[in-house]
Structure 1
Amino acid sequence: MTVRRALAATAALLTLGGVAACSGGDGSGSDPGRVDVVAAFYPLQFLAERIGGDAVTVTNLVKPGAEPHDLELHPRQVGQVADAELIVYLGGFQPAVDEAVAQNGNDRAFDVAGVQPLRDATEGGHEHEGEAGHEAEHGGKDPHLWLDPTRLATVGDRLAERLGRVDPDRAADFAARAKALHTELDGLDAEYTRGLATCQRREIVTSHTAFGYLTARYRLEQVGITGLSPEGEPSPQRLAEVAREAREHAAGTIFFETLVSPKVAETVAREVGARTAVLDPLEGRPADGDYLSAMRTNLQTLRTALDCS
């Protein structure tokens, strides 16, 4: 996080000090019949809404179309964290959220990073110049666990348990919805396994290394132009290295993302004579559909790019 962002987040927290104290953090939401849940970004919103159903009201801290990595919290959002009955977040992914939770909601927080060990940032990928700095932002861990449906299913199971402690009368409902979602995510996993089993190529060139969990699960290899931060600027040496690797693997597609400029991907694509395509890391809510439909769109995009039979 830049110095400017750090100062903005700190100012928001200080401004909210009096508001949080007045609110008492008692979790009283707008609808007393529902559990007031704050989700740090879209995949966690998806889980909370699917598992909570009509028993929850879910607020996503990231506005539609915004990039969640370096989220800056406004005073009202810090107040939402202070008042929530449950805060669902991923520790280390959004420093401003970590800070707001530490100051205003530690006892009501569910950190999905603690459900299963996170992958090391360089595990299964290509290490390159400047990557150490990007890794440091996330404690050397890759936060993008939701791109493995089986991991997201396990997070959903634990979230149902936590919701059940907040609202014991509906614990059985939460568990039932989590079980149904787990079955859907297992089905999605099976679709990926079948769909990517027989491909001409197994290397994907991506604008940043968000897809380590997906590539590890389905035996692909990720070549990232930049590291974990989508705002990273690759050096000319790194661009040349990626272009060389793309030629070696006969990569016909260079992937860019929905919330990030495609310019870097387009530069590499021009260099190697490839096309570009969107591979959605699902850090923000899809323009159409939901997590499941966006993941299925990603699967079809990968099958086309990798010449899968």
Structure 2
Amino acid sequence: MKIRRRPGGSTRRPTAPTALAATALTAALTLTACGGSSSAEDSGGRLSVVASFYPMEYLAAQIGGDHVKVTGLTAPGVEPHDLELTAKQVGSVQKAGAVVYLKGLQPTVDKAVGQSRSKHVVDAAAASPLVDHHLDEGAEEQDGHAHAEGTGDPHVWLDPTRYATVAKAVGAEFAKADPAHAADYEKNTADLVGRLAALDEEFRTGLQGAKQKVFVTSHAAFGYLADHYGLEQIAISGVDPEAEPTPARLATIHRAAEQHGITTVFFESLVSPALANSVANDLKLKTAVLDPIEGIKGGKGDYFSVMRQNLAHLRTALGTTS
């Protein structure tokens, strides 16, 4: 089995439930089966919500407001694909009043949710069905594992309209789980959906007049964004951010850069920029951050501020005139 090297020189095997994670899950299931108090509400009477990673956690907090206590399973700044649940985290999923997650992204979370007691589970992939964005032949060969699984691209939150659809599902489920505060959940959902509609319009307006429509990213996280705004992403790696590109893939990127007059290679905040920097140096291009917002480190903004940063960086790279 191939070992992948993470930023800073550490190594990690491909994402999958490890023996330790499996042991934690078994232990937690045993504990919950033996009884114990329910955590559907916290000591303050708030609905207890478990969210799998940042985009789901953000929705839960914005819609739930003061009526919920949200526990995020993925720590800020951690790449969500790498998550391995502790026994305590598995237990929190088992006993939560509501769970918000995206099936297929984090196998250990999927397994815990499958054994959860909660009657109120929101799967973002069910609310906004995933699309398997077809890459060119070279990319599919290098990233065949992700395509073979058939789960599709999970990054639905990068299209504000799809994210709004997930938000509506979260609001509806919170209202079922906590009917006493249903009106507040409905209002908070409507407010958030309105803000997402405004963000969508900002992107539409901001990307008008772009000199070219193609951009290069370190991995294929931006398919929904590209589709929605009439752009095309060319990814160095496929859906898996750690897949190493083949020589044929790199040659494809070189040709595309020359053909489309590409000026910038985008890298991400949670993954080493080494590969993007190497490609950019070879092509004598600039680099910039295009953040997939899978996790935000403390004090570095929220979903809306990072999306607006992405828009500004895209406008610069694509040569917008408006």
Band of TM-score, shorter chain: over 0.9
- Equivalents in 1 of 2:48, 2:151: separation in Å? 32
User: Sequence identity, in percent?
Assistant: 46
Q: 1:273 to 1:162 in 2, by over 3 A?
A: same
**Does residue 193 of structure 1 match 2:194?**
no
Are 2:52 and 2:102, in contact at CA under 8 Å, matched by a contact in 1?
Answer: yes
Please point out which of 58, 77, 86 is paired with 2:89. 77
1:4 CA displacement: 6.6
Please point out which of 65, 89, 114 is paired with 2:101. 89
Moved more, 189-198 or 99-108: 99-108
- Equivalents in 1 of 2:117, 2:70: separation in Å? 16
Q: Which runs of 5+ in 2 are unaligned?
A: 1-12
Counterpart position of 1:57: 69
**Does residue 108 of structure 1 match 2:120?**
yes
Name the SS for the 1:204 alignment partner: strand
Amino acid at match of 1:41: F
Are 1:20 and 1:79, in contact at CA under 8 Å, matched by a contact in 2?
Answer: yes
Q: Which runs of 5+ in 1 are unaligned?
A: none
Name the SS for the 1:205 alignment partner: strand
1:172 CA displacement: 0.7
**Does residue 306 of structure 1 match 2:296?**
no
1:25 CA displacement: 7.4
- Equivalents in 2 of 1:23, 1:290: separation in Å? 38
Counterpart position of 1:99: 111
- Equivalents in 2 of 1:29, 1:19: separation in Å? 19
**Does residue 240 of structure 1 match 2:251?**
yes
Runs of 4+ in 1 over 4 A off after TM superposition: none
- Equivalents in 1 of 2:37, 2:199: separation in Å? 38
Counterpart position of 1:273: 284
In the superposition, the TM-score normalised over structure 2's length comes to 0.90
Name the SS for the 1:120 alignment partner: coil
Counterpart position of 1:174: 185
- Equivalents in 1 of 2:37, 2:197: separation in Å? 37
1:116 CA displacement: 2.5
Q: Give CA-to-partner distance per residue, 1:248-292, whole Å, 9 cap, x none.
A: 211110001010010111111011110111100000025522101
- Equivalents in 2 of 1:265, 1:169: separation in Å? 50
Counterpart position of 1:295: 307
1:234 CA displacement: 1.4
Name the SS for the 2:215 alignment partner: strand
Please point out which of 260, 283, 307 is paired with 2:271. 260
- Equivalents in 1 of 2:246, 2:61: separation in Å? 41
1:164 CA displacement: 0.3
1:110 CA displacement: 1.3
1:3 CA displacement: 7.7
- Equivalents in 2 of 1:66, 1:221: separation in Å? 27
In the superposition, the TM-score normalised over structure 1's length comes to 0.94
Q: 1:263 to 1:168 in 2, by over 3 A?
A: same
Are 1:23 and 1:82, in contact at CA under 8 Å, matched by a contact in 2?
Answer: no
1:5 CA displacement: 4.0
**Does residue 7 of structure 1 match 2:19?**
yes
Paired residues in the alignment total: 306
Counterpart position of 1:126: 136
Q: Give CA-to-partner distance per residue, 1:204-246, whole Å, 9 cap, x none.
A: 1011000001000100001011111112111232222222222
Name the SS for the 2:49 alignment partner: strand
1:63 CA displacement: 0.8
Are 1:23 and 1:83, in contact at CA under 8 Å, matched by a contact in 2?
Answer: no
- Equivalents in 1 of 2:165, 2:17: separation in Å? 33
